[in-house]
Chain A
Amino acid sequence: MPRTVLAVALGLALLAGTLGVRPADAQDSLVIAQGADITTLDPTQATQIHNLNLFYNIYDALVTWDPKDIGKLVPELAVSWRSVDPLTWQFKLRQGVRFHDGEPFNAEAVKFTVDRLITKGVHQVYGGFSTIERADVVDAYTINIVTSKPDPILVKRFAGYGGQILPPQYVKQVDWKTFGIKPVGTGPYKFVEWIKDDRVVLEANPSYWRGAPKIKKVIWRPIPDNFARVAALTRGEAQLITKVIPDHVAQIEKAGCCRVEHTLTNLVTVYLINAQKGPLANTKVRQALNYAVDKDKIIKELYRGYAIPIGSGIPNTDFGYNPAVKPYPYDPARARQLLAEAGFPGGVDVDIQSGNGIHLNDRQLSEAVALMLQDVGFRPKVGVLEPAQRSQLLRTNTFPGLLLADPASTTYDTDGVLWRLRGPGGIVHQIWPGNYEGTPFYKLMEEARVTLDAQKRLRSYHEAAQIWHDEAPELFLFQGELIDAVRNEVKYQARGDQRIILYDISYR
């Protein structure tokens, strides 16, 4: 029996050996290590960044973000666009582009994609496109997108997730399931293979419409453990890694082989407050929470400076950001005073919950915030939630006090970061009465949602941001930075939209 076991083991090991990655010419290939494996290659079925990064390279969208001016759109598969009437946007499409299987890119492909996007319940990205009524093909390279209500951010939606253009002929040939594991797009990289939990291999598309990419082969490896990822980088097993924690930066720089690339993102870290009842329903109590936390200290120590404090839940990258709204200063005396004014001189019990590793340093953040709240008279109780539990509490709006979250808009717009969450139909609409129907805040946000006049929208959002700050329905913390690390021989710059665009990466 042991001999047979040994033989089987050896056999498996040899078999495993043949699967091994033969390192190609060092300059011709790039290994990227992310924190999790992808779950699908169908761009309508996933929204997490580690999945999205593959989509951005296998597929193209109509438009994308300008890496140098985050929030500004640049053409990709659409060369120009304009609003024909309040309900219709017309896109002129790029000519001469082909999918990886040879079929041509044209208005039919866009129509096929849009038809899929507006089908409810079969995929995950419907929400981003729910305002679209239909797509009309005008000619081979012109298409009209018709919305049910005026939608000022329609074009931006196509830059976010789900905007990738799908190949109609290929999908009709295979089915959606197969498409999810053997994708075809128009992007700079073609899919080669995917071994679950081990690697995804892409190779350059030599006939890409922008010209062949510089790096011939890219391998994506999922390495869940933070230390293991850093170790892979310093040992040269990966040339680019994502999600580096601030405490590891010094170590990476000391190693000499590598450097960090970081940039401000549009993710804001806040604690959502369940303000439906109890002491937290009182505005003064919530303001006290904001005065009690020393954001600068947390940013400096816990996040090593890789963040900026915020005054309202809107990042400075998004349309509608109001620079006149400043972050709450650290003022424990004022916090104590507010608590007393609110009628709680003896303190308030408050639950502070977060996941454990869902967000960067989440548990430590909760513990640090709890200590600060304790100093002004709160009686905090820190809770660590498992991901699905957290999601359930969020969905049912039953989290008892504060819950850590990092809302972000994929359209770089206040509507996306605030109103999608809090507006009617939004997942946390219930938790703060201040945004129920009829309130000034509600009116401002709903109007801005359907106004095409950019100036008017801006004024509405500025006013809303001030209300948001003053009423403090959240404990505002900071807008975070993204930290990646690369080997010195790789030319790479981190993007504020967190995307890894392989086309822009090369070796020195």
Chain B
Amino acid sequence: MRDFLLAKLWHTLIVVFCVLTLVFVVLHLTGDPVMMMLPSNASREEIDALTRSLGLDQPLIVQYGRFLARVARGDFGVSLQHQQPAMGLVAERLPASLLLATTALVLAVAVALPLGMLAAARRGTALDRLAVGLAALGQSAPIFWTGLMLMLVGAVVLKLLPTSGYGTWRHLVLPALTLASYPMAAMARLVRAGMLETLEADYVRTARAKGLPERWVVLKHTLRNAAMPIVTVVGLQFGLLLGGAIVCEMIFAWPGVGRLMIFAIYNRDFPLVEASVFVMAMVFVAGNLAVDLCYAWLDPRVKLRA
């Protein structure tokens, strides 16, 4: 176990280092934050002056070196747009993002699991068809579309919920539903597929033949086996949800890290992008770890090797 964790740590370090470097290179090569900050009728002199004062006129290697040195100290610098510490800005927004992502994931699993299982159990019936159809609906609408539709129905037409914003549990409902719609649909299908597989497996037939009650058979044997791909997808989804919540946050004016990051990217606000990416990478890595531990718990044959 200790070896496993150490190896994981090493792996994490390399991954985060690669990501931060890639982000650095990509950001610096494709845009100019100074131009984004100054008004469009700024003169060259002003542009140069601001560039110099931000240290952006140094050769890339020098900037990269400084950047690495700062990061090693845990300092992600000061946001170019806000003149505030970049990591502080991200840390403030993190709880909102986590709240949204967690709620969405919980919702997705809570609906997808029973729905997928029922659909597999009642295979070929109207319920199955309905589930497949709903899954298609959830998967075929882009997030911005689902969000706007839910907003239209839930807030404008039915007047049940606020249209956007943050503050009460009511504000959480529409964005969480929106964010959950795709993973819910994808997971329902995977659960159904996985369950159909294992329902036919020999050992399940054996258990049935032994006369064990259906429900027990279904739950204990099939769930464990079908759980592997589900856990994989859940693990993937969590990281995706944090990053993919960008559109959801924009539509519902939800103050999360995604929205912060995308405006930082648009404005080439290097420190803020780096800080956001770092935090999201860390959350992602934590999710990975959870997934790996789940693998080991679910399938004892998988040894946690380094």
Contacts and interface: CB of A to CB of B under 8 A. Distances in A.
A and B: bona fide binding partners: yes
Interface of A: 2, 5-6, 8-9, 12-13, 15-17, 19-21, 36, 39-40, 42, 45, 47, 120-122, 124, 126-127, 130, 161, 176-177, 180-181, 195-198, 221-225, 227-228, 231-232, 234-235, 237, 386-389, 391-392, 394-395, 405, 407-410, 416-417, 420-421, 425-427
A15 B98 CA distance: 13
A238 B206 CA distance: 64
Interface string B144-169: 00001001100110010011111111
How large, as a class, is the contact surface on chain B? Answer: 35 or more
A13 B169 contact: yes
B38 interface: yes
Given A16-B99, A40-B82, A388 B268 contact: yes
Given A40-B82, A221-B165, A8 B102 contact: yes
B255 A195 contact: yes
A42 B84 CA distance: 12
B259 interface: yes
B43 A420 contact: yes
A19 B167 contact: yes
B44 A388 contact: no
A6 B53 CA distance: 47
A429 to B, nearest CB: 8
A232 B162 CA distance: 8
Nearest to B169: A13
A231 B51 CA distance: 41
Nearest to A17: B168
B65 interface: no
Contacts of B169: 13, 16-17
Given A20-B168, A121-B49, A235-B163, A224 B31 contact: no
B4 interface: no
A9 B103 CA distance: 7
Contact of B251 (A15, A126, A225): A225
Contact of A39 (B82, B156, B166, B251): B82
Contacts of A126: 46, 49
A238 to B, nearest CB: 9
B216 interface: no
B252 interface: yes
Interface stretch (B88-96, B121-129, B132-140): B88-96
B167 A231 contact: no
Contact of B50 (A17, A121, A197): A121
Nearest to B251: A225
Given A195-B255, A391-B32, A427 B40 contact: yes
B267 A16 contact: no
Contacts of A389: 30-31
Given A387-B266, A389-B31, A425 B253 contact: no
A9 B99 contact: yes
A8 B167 CA distance: 16
B106 A235 contact: no
Interface in B36-87: 36-47, 49-50, 52-53, 81-84
Contact of A197 (B39, B83, B171, B259): B259
Nearest to A386: B266
B102 A9 contact: yes
Contacts of B259: 197, 224
Contact of B167 (A16, A39, A420): A16
Most chain B Cβ neighbours within 10 Å, of A8, A16, A40:
A16
Given A197-B253, A387-B36, 19 more contacts: A16-B169, A120-B46, A120-B49, A121-B52, A127-B41, A197-B259, A198-B166, A221-B165, A223-B165, A225-B148, A228-B163, A228-B252, A232-B164, A235-B155, A388-B36, A388-B268, A407-B40, A421-B40, A426-B44
B268 to A, nearest CB: 5
Given A42-B83, A121-B53, A388-B267, A426 B164 contact: no
Given A2-B106, A196-B93, A231 B255 contact: no
B196 interface: no
A315 to B, nearest CB: 14
B266 A388 contact: yes
A70 B221 CA distance: 77
A127 B84 contact: no
Contacts of A408: 41
Interface string B10-53: 00000000000000000000111101111111111111011011
Contacts of A16: 96, 99, 166-169, 171-172
B164 A421 contact: no
Given A16-B99, A387-B267, A127 B83 contact: no
Given A47-B38, A196-B260, A388-B30, A40 B81 contact: yes
A416 B41 contact: yes
A24 to B, nearest CB: 14
Nearest to A12: B99
A121 B263 CA distance: 23
B98 to A, nearest CB: 7
A427 B35 CA distance: 10
A177 B50 contact: no
B298 interface: no
B118 interface: no
A127 to B, nearest CB: 5
B14 to A, nearest CB: 28
Nearest to B82: A39
Interface string B293-306: 00000000000000
Contacts of B45: 127, 130, 425
11 contacts: A42-B83, A120-B46, A121-B49, A124-B39, A127-B38, A130-B46, A181-B84, A196-B260, A235-B159, A391-B32, A417-B41
B286 to A, nearest CB: 13
A231 B161 CA distance: 12
Most chain A Cβ neighbours within 10 Å, of B41, B165, B253:
B41
Contact of A231 (B41, B49, B106, B156): B156
Most chain B Cβ neighbours within 10 Å, of A20, A228, A387:
A228
A346 B299 CA distance: 71
A501 B42 CA distance: 26
A224 B253 contact: yes
B250 interface: yes
B82 A234 contact: no
